[in-house]
Structure 1
């Protein structure tokens, strides 16, 4: 079930000091207000200005004013959030945001002691992320959507409001008389996430009033399944070698071959094959029964090729 902002923050016990990702929207404004109230003097804020719209300056001003009023140190990072050809604008902005967080945490002496970084995604964001993953044919890793906790750059990252609905976040702010900035791009239905928010979520609410809770359980189940698949992949990669030996791969079932190859490519080469690329790679591995069989396939951002008895990776 979804819970209130106060209940979510009562259960939130991070390692301190804490940094909050502050966009200026309702969700991060609520998170900063609640966190600074619970942990006075232990909270900083990081604002990333993507410079993509005229409203960016208003967001930054709101963050400055809010942090001044709360006595919270604010660190502003300005980035170029424009997307490359073939890249989704949302993905480009997300990557730029994480890079900006990492840069601030690494370069600002006042942030060096930060042990936890909190982000303000909520239950509706989780549902939207799951629906996007389903629309793309994602596996369990995609359906698991956004984790509540994870490690990055030696720090704990978390999403304390992941069980709180967007409606409850805004109600909490209104009851406290707190202002926030609405991102005008959130109503632009050229973006798939916004169409999901405007068209699909109201339909889900009408047919399945508890969809946030049930989708949340599905995400948690998928996350457990993905964790198990990664454990199996680690074991299989240890058995097949690094890089994988073709003959040892052939002793595994096709499903386990697919699992270990996805893991090898993601963890060691930071790339992900498409379904068609992975299927072709598996077919080629099955056909590698002679020394003369050559293999060079486009996979993700580069190529998988055969080098003697093993697979190898080349970026070009």
Structure 2
């Protein structure tokens, strides 16, 4: 936190849990009158009203303005409940930032994920066989929608956050779902982190370095993909794709599908697509491969992607 120097005014995402309570308290102490809080009421559990009341009481005591955003964070069939809630939460934060007036415009938003959360994210990515973009885990700083986002606690262990709060005499609320081991992240927290702490006491720092290396590699791959997409076109021309190595084909196709069509192929889908590209040596060769909710197809000399649900 000592090196954290955001553009002010600053908004803090406040759930009422230990981590966000500590972040808001520290920021309010450091920048009095320049900090506000945003609480997202998910409506997913009975305790949600208690979280809101705790946040209101805390912000009154700290004399920090509070905005409460009520959202519908229910997930669609086949969608991860955690992913759905996270996306809805970010949309709510962005809505508050966009609605802030020029006199009190929000320039930065701080979120309270800490070092243990980063390790959990990295282990989840490993368990799913993620590439370097997934292994980069959570960035400490980034920009989106004209707002700078920060995670100033990413190098701070969860136990340190709680110890600091106790020293401040500050209470917090506990989310009952955090101990539900039906969720993979909670199993990692309850079972793997204590074992890692016993075997490799410095694992938070070393895992953070690995995530940082992966983030640099992902950035380089993204730069290469942009160059290759400029070369092959968007949608990409098959003949020009075939002039690239298989690894560069995979990289540029992932980039094209993500940027142009907001979809990500599985490893199996991408492998099949690369095989079909290699075999595509005649005008009559057909390509029609399921990717995400749509299909990558051959359209004359180029590849294309379409979603049949949108076409109906």
TM class by shorter chain equals over 0.9
Contact 1:104 1:111 in 2 (8 A): no
**Is the Cα–Cα contact under 8 Å of residues 47 and 60 in structure 1 kept in the other structure?**
yes
**In the aligned structure 2, how far is the partner of 1:191 from the partner of 1:23?**
19
> Which runs of 5 or more structure 2 residues have no equivalent in the other structure?
none
Q: Which moved more, 1:289-298 or 1:26-35?
A: 289-298
Partner residue, 1:134: 126
Computed over aligned residues only, the root mean square deviation of the Cα atoms, in angstroms, reads: 1.1
Partner of 2:294: 302
How much has 1:300 moved relative to structure 2? 1.3
Return the offset for 1:290.
Answer: 1.0
Find the aligned partners of 1:218 and 1:23 in 2 and give their Cα distance: 29
* Other structure's SS at 1:10 match: coil
> Aligned residue for 1:6?
none
Residue 127 of structure 1, CA deviation = 0.1
Q: Equivalent residue for 1:100?
A: 92
Name the counterpart of 1:4: none
What is residue 227 of structure 2 aligned with on the other side?
A: 235
Q: Tell me, in whole angstroms, the C-alpha distance in 2 between the residues paired with 1:218 and 1:276.
A: 26
Quote the residue 1:161 is aligned against: 153
- Deviation string 1:79-137 (CA, Å, 9 cap, x unpaired) is 11111111111111111111111222223448961111110000000000000000000
Q: Whose relative contact order is higher, 1 or 2, with alpha carbons under 8 Å and at least 6 apart?
A: 1
| Aligned with 1:118 (options 87, 110, 115) | 110
Which of 200, 208, 215 aligns to 1:223? It is 215
1:42 aligns with 34
Unaligned runs of 5+ in 1: 1-8
Distance in 1 separating the partners of 2:72 and 2:16? 18
**Counterpart residue number, 1:248:** 240
Match of 1:276 among 265, 268, 273: 268
Aligned with 1:201 (options 193, 197, 219): 193
Whether the aligned pair in 1 keeps the contact of 2:15 and 2:51 (CA below 8 Å) is yes
Q: Deviations over 1:197-229 (max 9, x none)?
A: 000101111111111011011000100111111
Check whether the contact 2:9–2:104 (CA below 8 A) recurs between aligned residues.
no
Contact kept? 2:100, 2:106, Cα under 8 Å: no
Q: In structure 1, how many angstroms separate the alpha carbons of the residues matched to 2:142 and 2:208?
A: 17
How far apart in 2 are the matches of 1:72 and 1:110? 19
Distance, in Å, in 1 between the alignment partners of 2:81 and 2:203 is: 27
Deviations 1:20-47 (A, max 9, x none): 1111100000000011111111111111
